[in-house]
Amino acid sequence: MLFTSLLKRSSRVALLSSAMALVLSCSVVPSTTSTSLLNHRAAVDFTGLRPARMIDTIKASVTSPVGWDRLVTQRAALYTHEQWRSPSMQTGVGCAYIRMPLPFSADTICWLARQEYAKQSKHGDGGKITSNWTDNLGRVWFEGENKRYHVRGYVVTHGFEAWIVYFGYRVPSTPDPGELSVAMRSLEAIVPSLPQSAPQIARK
């Protein structure tokens, strides 16, 4: 969907190297843990969701929407991407597991996304990130769109690993409220394989 081109392009050394200064100048290890996410999932309404199960390809526990199709796993040198598509084929929820060459922070990955969307905009694709924030669980959220998709999701990292968890819909269509609701709840119930306890903060 929207960030697929980012994943493909960010596997290039040139793009990754362009963010090294950000990583080395101020590296903060996020406080998101699997324990906090599991506690958060316990409060999610599971109506319309399958029971949680571990998806080894993306190292995450997933509760996919009932009746949605799991698409073919996308694999590349640095990432694996799993996605579930709604019956209308207009809405999707997914998770990408990234193996990074450097221990980038979630903020840095969002910075890379902003640069990619800026490039898309210059080339007429209209790509942009409309908002970016961090919640009380330490998840770095983003919302963005291009001419084809509108996507909302978050990024978490641990060492040389990162996860992008998201849901989205096709822009030309009118989003189905029921599909958006179950997609959002599915996103909130996905738990990447992060440490159980809070890591120490790394400072320069």
Q: Do the Cβ atoms of 112 and 6 come closer than 8 Å?
A: yes
The predicted pLDDT at position 115 comes to 74
The predicted pLDDT at position 198 comes to 57
Q: Is residue 120 part of a domain?
A: yes
Q: Is residue 201 part of a domain?
A: no
The predicted pLDDT at position 53 comes to 96
Half-sphere exposure of 198 (CA within 13 A, CB side): 10
Per the structure, the count of domains in the chain is: 1
Q: Is residue 199 part of a domain?
A: no
Q: Is residue 203 part of a domain?
A: no
Q: Where does 77-199 show beta strands of DSSP type E?
A: 79-85, 91-99, 128-134, 140-145, 149-158, 161-170, 191-192
The predicted pLDDT at position 124 comes to 58
Range(s) of the domain holding residue 90 = 4-192
- Residues 64-121 pLDDT 10s: 999 999 999 999 999 999 999 999 999 999 999 999 988 888 888 888 777 766 666 5
The predicted pLDDT at position 186 comes to 98
CATH no. for residue 153? 3.40.1000.10
User: Which residue numbers in the chain have pLDDT < 50?
Assistant: 2, 9-30, 199-204
Q: Do the Cβ atoms of 88 and 168 come closer than 8 Å?
A: no
Q: Is residue 54 part of a domain?
A: yes
Q: Is residue 18 part of a domain?
A: yes
Q: What angle do CA 153, 106, 195 make, to 5 degrees?
A: 95
Q: Is residue 197 part of a domain?
A: no
Backbone angles phi, psi at 40, to 5 degrees: -65, -40
